[in-house]
Amino acid sequence: MPGRFITFEGGEGSGKSTHVSLLADRLRSLGIDVVVTREPGGSPGAEIIRHILLSGAAKPLGPETETILFAAARDDHVRNTIAPALADGKWVICDRFVDSTRVYQGALGKVDPRLIRGLERVTVGELMPDLTLVMDVPADAGLARASRRRGGAKADRFESETLEFHEHLRKAFATLAKLDPERCVLIDASKPKPAVVDAIWKAVTQRLAPTQARAGVAVTP
């Protein structure tokens, strides 16, 4: 049986990495084989492109070129990490995926949606997530969390955008979740961690029935 594909999306400091890791631990405790990965990156080739993108080196080339670079990284990641793991029956949890391109480059960067959809068709095809958890937190609170976690380190290409940019980002992710309720669940990530953990687990159990998956029972998402 093919595995399950879960993605986390949302703005900076919304708790994606934290909850990717907590969810993976919980699924593993049920005996499920889990692969944790991220975008941009998640495969050796894509990690090289990640460095180019997050250092800001590609910014002067414009949003279209950045979009193409995110797609090139995704292509490598899907082929070398995600697709093989799913084919092996593993569960894949990915920190950001296509929705980040739709929001950062599409809604915010004003890149033509036809280019974005075309690149999605080539890189992802039918391999869309079974479940996407959209972590929703006020932009200022998310940025404060990200800055605390970073300590004295320099903000990256996207973290250094304005507060207004991050507020638009939050709205765009919420709209995207609303438009695709079959796949997306909006999580109130401003709550304390235990409450967020519970909300995520509720979504995962309702949509993907992990206890049945472990027992080898076919699950219809």
What residue ranges bind ligand Z5A (CB under 6 A)?
10, 12-18, 38-40, 54, 70, 95-96, 100-101, 104-105, 145-146, 149, 156, 158-159, 189, 192-193, 196
* 95 token code pair: 């920190």
- With b for 16 or more beta-carbon neighbours within 10 A and e for fewer, the 49-64 pattern comes to bbebbeeeebeeeebe
Looking at the Cβ atoms of 81 and 101, the one nearer to ligand Z5A is 101
> Least distance from C-beta 209 to ligand Z5A, angstroms?
25
Cβ-contact 37, 77 below 8 angstroms: yes
State the SS3 of 25-45: HHHHHCCCCEEEEECCCCCHH
Looking at the Cβ atoms of 93 and 213, the one nearer to ligand Z5A is 93
Looking at the Cβ atoms of 47 and 156, the one nearer to ligand Z5A is 156
> Least distance from C-beta 104 to ligand Z5A, angstroms?
3
d(CA 194, CA 105): 32
Looking at the Cβ atoms of 32 and 187, the one nearer to ligand Z5A is 187
Residue with tokens 């991050």: 166
User: What is each CA distance from 83 to 3, 32, 70, 77, 111, in whole angstroms?
Assistant: 10, 17, 18, 9, 27
> Least distance from C-beta 12 to ligand Z5A, angstroms?
4
d(CA 100, CA 172): 10
> Least distance from C-beta 156 to ligand Z5A, angstroms?
5
> Least distance from C-beta 165 to ligand Z5A, angstroms?
11
Looking at the Cβ atoms of 22 and 209, the one nearer to ligand Z5A is 22
